[in-house]
Structure 1
Amino acid sequence: MKKWLYSFIILFVVLIGVAVLLFEQNDRFRQGLYTAMIAEDQIPESYIPVYQEAGQTYEIPWELLASVHRVETIFSTMDPMESPVGALGHFQFMPRTWIGWTYPGVDDIGNVDDHVDITDVALIEEHNGYGTDATGNGEADPFDLHDSAHAAARFLSEHGAIDGEYEEALFSYNRSDAYVEEVMHYFETFKESFEPIELNGNQESHEAN
Structure 2
Amino acid sequence: MRKRLLIPVLCSFLFVLQNPIAKAEELDLPTLQNEQKEVKKQLKEAIAKQDDLSKKEQKELVKLNQRYSSIVAKRKALEKAESFLNGEETKEETKKRFSDTIQNWSKVVVPFRSVPVEYKPIYVAAGERYGVDWKVLAAIHSIETSFSNISTMVSSVGAIGHMQFMPATFKAYGVDGNGDGQISPWNIEDAIYSAANYLAANNFKNDQRKAIWHYNHADWYVNDVLETAASFIK
Normalising by structure 1, what TM-score? 0.57
Give the whole-Å Cα distance in 1 for the aligned partners of 2:179 and 2:217: 31
Q: Does 1:88 align with 2:130?
A: no
Give the whole-Å Cα distance in 2 for the aligned partners of 1:162 and 1:130: 17
Contact 1:58 1:162 in 2 (8 A): no
Counterpart among 220, 223, 228 of residue 186 in structure 1:
228
Q: Does 1:148 align with 2:191?
A: yes
Structure with the bigger percentage of helix: 2
Q: Percent identity?
A: 36
SS of corresponding position for 1:72: helix
Q: Does 1:138 align with 2:181?
A: yes
Give the whole-Å Cα distance in 2 for the aligned partners of 1:93 and 1:39: 29
Q: Does 1:177 align with 2:219?
A: yes
Deviations 1:23-61 (A, max 9, x none): xxxxxxxxxxxxxxx995210001000001100000111
Give the whole-Å Cα distance in 1 for the aligned partners of 2:143 and 2:203: 19
Q: Residue 186 of structure 1: CA displacement?
A: 0.6
SS of corresponding position for 1:75: coil
Q: Does 1:68 align with 2:110?
A: no
Question: Which protein, 1 or 2, shows the higher relative CO under an 8 Å CA cutoff with sep ≥ 6?
Answer: 1
Contact 1:160 1:169 in 2 (8 A): yes
Contact 1:40 1:186 in 2 (8 A): no
Unaligned ranges ≥5, structure 1 = 1-37, 100-128, 195-209
SS of corresponding position for 2:231: helix
Paired residues in the alignment total 125
Alignment partner, residue 107 of structure 1:
none
Give the whole-Å Cα distance in 2 for the aligned partners of 1:173 and 1:53: 20
Which letter maps to 1:141? S
Within-5 A mapping of 1:98-117:
98-99=170-171
Which letter maps to 1:172? H
SS of corresponding position for 2:160: coil
Provide the aligned C-alpha RMSD in A. 1.7
Alignment partner, residue 168 of structure 1:
210
Deviations 1:106-141 (A, max 9, x none): xxxxxxxxxxxxxxxxxxxxxxx1111112222101
Which letter maps to 1:188? A
Give the whole-Å Cα distance in 1 for the aligned partners of 2:163 and 2:209: 17
Give the whole-Å Cα distance in 2 for the aligned partners of 1:79 and 1:40: 25
Give the whole-Å Cα distance in 1 for the aligned partners of 2:178 and 2:213: 28
Which letter maps to 1:149? I
Q: Residue 160 of structure 1: CA displacement?
A: 2.0
Q: Residue 89 of structure 1: CA displacement?
A: 0.5
SS of corresponding position for 1:45: coil
Which letter maps to 2:135? E
Within-5 A mapping of 1:20-35:
none
Which letter maps to 1:147? D
SS of corresponding position for 1:162: coil
Give the whole-Å Cα distance in 2 for the aligned partners of 1:178 and 1:77: 23
Contact 1:69 1:75 in 2 (8 A): yes
Give the whole-Å Cα distance in 1 for the aligned partners of 2:111 and 2:230: 14
SS of corresponding position for 1:41: coil
Give the whole-Å Cα distance in 2 for the aligned partners of 1:74 and 1:161: 23
